[in-house]
Homo-oligomer: A and B are copies of this chain.
Amino acid sequence: MAKSLIGNHVRKFRFHHDEMTQQQLADQVGVTRQTIVAIEKGNYSPSLELAFRIARVFGAPIEDIFFLEGEQ
């Protein structure tokens, strides 16, 4: 099972955002905590919809938080 080609700075954004916990972020975007863990660890990439919601929480464009590996 290949890892996804998408990397992200969710963890950094979480800490720079009032030290928000995984659970709090999960609640705000409407997924489970395990989903946030999996995304932060790169186990898989989020759907576009979830990427949008995460970006909204952090008030940043999607491309500030997520990137194609090898493009960063």
A51 CB–B CB distance under 8 Å: yes
Name A31's contact: one of B1, B6, B49 (CB within 8 Å). Answer: B1
Q: Is the CB of A48 within 8 A of B6?
A: yes
Q: Is the CB of B47 within 8 A of A1?
A: yes
Number of copies: 2
CB 8 Å contact bits of A43-60 with B (1 = contact, 0 = none)? 001111111110010000
Task: Enumerate 17 A-B pairs (CB-CB under 8 Å) in ascending A order.
Answer: A1-B31, A1-B47, A2-B30, A4-B49, A6-B48, A45-B48, A45-B49, A47-B47, A47-B48, A48-B51, A48-B62, A48-B66, A61-B61, A61-B62, A61-B63, A62-B62, A62-B63
